[in-house]
Amino acid sequence: TLEALGFEPRNFQASGAALLHQEMGPSYPRMEWFSNHSRLACATMFSLFFAGNDLAPGIHIEGSRIQDYLQEHYIAAMRQVVRRLAGYPSVAGIDSLNEPGKGFIGIKDISAAPGPYTLPGLAPSPWEAMRAGEGFPVEVNHVGLKGLGLGVVRREVMGSPGLRAWRDGELCLWRRVGVWDIDRGEALLKKPDHFAKSGFNENYLKPFLLRFAREIRAEAAASAKTGVTIGQATSAKAPERNSFPIFIEGPAHGEAMPSFRKGEIPDIVNAAHWYDALTLTFKRWTGFLAFDTEKNRVVIGPKAVRSYFRQAMERILEHSRSAMGGIPSLLGEFGLPFDLNGRRSFASGDYGTQEKALAAYYDALDATLMNATLWNYSAGNTHAYGDGWNGEDLSVFSNDEIHRPVDGTSITDLGGRALRGFVRPYAMATAGRPLRMSFNRITGKFRYSFEADFSIDAPTEVFVPSIQYPKGYSIRTRGCRRRSPENKSGLTDSSRSMLFFDPEPGIRLCEIIIERRK
């Protein structure tokens, strides 16, 4: 699709249209890949994907309007995924689009410097990005940590004289629609407010999500009836399922998602992402500094930092409740760079700092009873190259750690990093309504309380990993009792570090307390 629009990807790095890891190699700046959102290639594609019919009404590919073309082909590709996988009961649903970007949408004056800044790197205005992409080098702001927030730390030249991001003979798409032109060899801005229409979430992202959900759900229903084929094998007809959830996301840097009336899109999940931005970006963990991207401010002090982590989770939950019809929430992505503090852990094998950071995140999840998925597991991770993608090193596994066994773990845990930070006790399934959950990583004390629902004919399941309890544990309960491994249901608790609990007859409030033996 880049080539279909007239782009020349081989010129992206030199023209400033994109920051490319494969061209910069070891000199690739730390965690600056996100700055591509404001550069010409990425911003153009997001602008056209979501709002091309408004912003570039005369641009067509293969007879279709550009926005329709891009969305139709994306959804068609995702339909192929669903066609093959929807019949499997282990597939919970499908994500709509990972970290959608606004592109230039909503910018009132494309010649003005962007802001407020949320991540470091070059931060060109759209007009600067367009000129650089046309072979007119420009000076742009470089954003970094400044005082108690992010700000402009210097100016840098972006682009190369005469080197265009577009193929020979192809006009810049934004020049084609009249945003700018060239007069006597100089770039001339004609429509600085071309992208000014606001309301990205409601006017552009939401219609796409509605369309995506409708078409994907229809594909899932059809696939579940006919079975699925992968390679030469065809599965049996899948069990009937009442729904096929759609996991939706908003822009990556902490902005709220669209609003929905209750039931407007059935079976959707708020799968917003969240990261501890300061730690992620600068790869340093102090425990007393964080950056609140929503309020654009530095948070100082251990208690304030942990309070901010909880607030970040609560904001996601509250948006789901108040603006999205009370839909479920899942923290779709969070994680930690393991190459913290100058990669000291790689030589020493001591991942205590990473364990502290992960524990702080999980404490916030427990306090808010937030569901979450940790990014990431990368089978190819090494100390030298991390995850192999834009300098990131967030994998819980590394090939270079396989030789280091960790006390309290099994052979299947070899290669794991900072396991004690995220392999923690938690309630995996509750026969009722969860009320409170907490875990003290220092003492090993786990507490969980819930309100029993006697209409559920299944036990409450609690995961108790041996890495947290190397010498075993003691259990105390109120209002419930541990189910015997010999129960006729066939459920056992030894092989998977699972414990099962049933409520006492007539008692709704239940509490489970697990403590580490010394």
Can you give the pLDDT at residue 412?
A: 82
Q: Where are the domains of the chain?
A: 2-189, 272-422, 424-517
Taking only the tens place, the pLDDT of each residue in 74-103 is: 999 999 999 988 888 889 999 999 999 999
CA 446, 452, 453, 455 torsion-angle sign: positive
Q: Cα separations (Å) of 413 from 201, 402, 423?
A: 42, 9, 11
Inter-residue contact 172 to 178 (CB < 8 Å): no
Token readout for 413 is: 């845990």
Inter-residue contact 277 to 293 (CB < 8 Å): yes
Can you give the pLDDT at residue 34?
A: 87
CA distance 226 to 83: 10
Can you give the pLDDT at residue 492?
A: 45
DSSP collapsed to 3 states, 206-245: HHHHHHHHHHHHHHHHHHHHHCCEECCEECCCCCCCCCCC
Can you give the pLDDT at residue 232?
A: 44
* Other beta carbons within 10 Å of 426: 17
User: Smallest Cα–Cα separation from 86: which of 216, 218, 213, 223?
Assistant: 223
Q: Which residues of the chain have pLDDT under 50?
A: 232-234, 236, 488-494
Token readout for 120 is: 């470091």
Check: CATH 3.40.50.150 for 424-517? Answer: no
Can you give the pLDDT at residue 299?
A: 94
Taking only the tens place, the pLDDT of each residue in 392-410 is: 999 999 999 999 877 767 7
Inter-residue contact 66 to 52 (CB < 8 Å): yes
CA distance 358 to 372: 13
If you average pLDDT over every residue of the chain, what do you get?
91
Q: Which residue blocks in 149-282 are alpha helix, DSSP H?
A: 173-176, 206-226, 277-282
